[in-house]
């Protein structure tokens, strides 16, 4: 192997210590309202990701942080309803929040609160979707109930080996199974309260 190829190969294999440091996890405590803490927890659950990953995504977005910082300048914060909560996040996210906080001279806790509050539109939208599903499901469950009643009436008047009765029994069995599967796709409204 030529020296130049060997040198290029070595350069590609070198570790980027800054990148490694940025990915390092750190623990830090923020003073946040209970509502915001719950919003982060609920959002992570519904997105099926860890809170750390979600928080990193929110706090590493420098453009969004700057917009939120500008918005924060015209708002005040009520710290009476805040409590300390320790989170694990990437060093990069912590550095980013510190930088924007220092640049705009606003508390980092307030910046984190505003960042997490962006998730409320997602959770509110999800809550509305599940409310619609619950309403549709009521109608669907009525249809299942009517089919069960039809099966009961047909069973009382037709012979056990009647083709119609057998087909309605099969339909009712499949319908019950599908309705049960559909029920699992619907979340209670309590799951979206933050």
CB neighbours of residue 111 within 10 Å: 23
Residue 170 to residue 99: CA distance in whole angstroms: 65
Residue with token string 């623990």:
27
Full pLDDT tens readout for the chain, 194 residues: 577 776 776 666 666 666 666 578 999 999 999 999 999 999 999 999 999 999 999 999 999 999 999 999 888 888 888 999 999 999 999 999 999 999 999 999 999 999 999 999 999 999 999 999 999 999 999 999 999 999 999 999 999 999 999 999 999 999 999 999 999 999 999 999 99
| pLDDT at residue number 17 | 65
Collapsed DSSP state (helix, strand, coil) of residue 85: strand
Comparing CA positions, the residue from 55, 51, 45, 53 lying closest to residue 187 is 45
- The H-or-E segment that residue 24 falls in is none
Query: Looking at residue 24, what is its pLDDT?
Result: 87
Start-to-end CA span in the chain (Å):
61
So where are the chain's domains? Answer: 24-118, 128-192
pTM of this structure: 0.76
Q: Which two tokens stand for residue 188?
A: 């209670």
Which residues contact residue 24 at a Cβ distance below 8 angstroms, ignoring those fewer than 6 apart? 90, 91
Residues with Cβ within 8 Å of 103's Cβ and at least 6 positions away in sequence, in order, are 69
- Confidence (pLDDT) at 15: 63
Helices (H), 14-119: 17-23, 34-47, 51-59, 62-72, 91-104, 108-117
Please say whether the beta carbons of 89 and 28 come within 8 A.
Answer: yes
| CA atoms within a 13 Å half-sphere pointing along the CA-CB vector of 34 | 3
């Amino acid at each position: 192997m030529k020296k130049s190829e060997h040198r290029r190969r070595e350069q590609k294999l070198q570790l980027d210590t800054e990148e490694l440091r940025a990915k390092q996890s750190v623990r830090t405590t923020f003073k946040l309202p209970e509502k915001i803490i719950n919003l982060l927890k609920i959002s992570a659950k519904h997105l099926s990701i860890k809170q750390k990953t979600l928080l990193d995504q929110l706090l590493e977005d420098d453009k969004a942080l700057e917009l939120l910082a500008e918005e924060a300048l015209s708002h005040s914060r009520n710290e009476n309803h805040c409590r300390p909560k320790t989170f694990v996040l990437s060093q990069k996210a912590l550095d980013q929040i510190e930088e924007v906080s220092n640049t705009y001279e606003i508390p980092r806790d307030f910046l984190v609160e505003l960042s997490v509050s962006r998730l409320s539109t997602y959770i509110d939208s999800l809550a509305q979707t599940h409310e619609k599903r619950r309403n549709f499901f009521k109608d669907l469950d009525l249809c299942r109930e009517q089919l069960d009643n039809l099966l009961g009436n047909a069973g009382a008047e037709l012979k056990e080996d009647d083709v119609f009765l057998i087909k309605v029994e099969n339909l009712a069995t499949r319908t019950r199974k599908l309705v049960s599967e559909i029920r699992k796709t619907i979340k209670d409204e309590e799951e979206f309260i933050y």
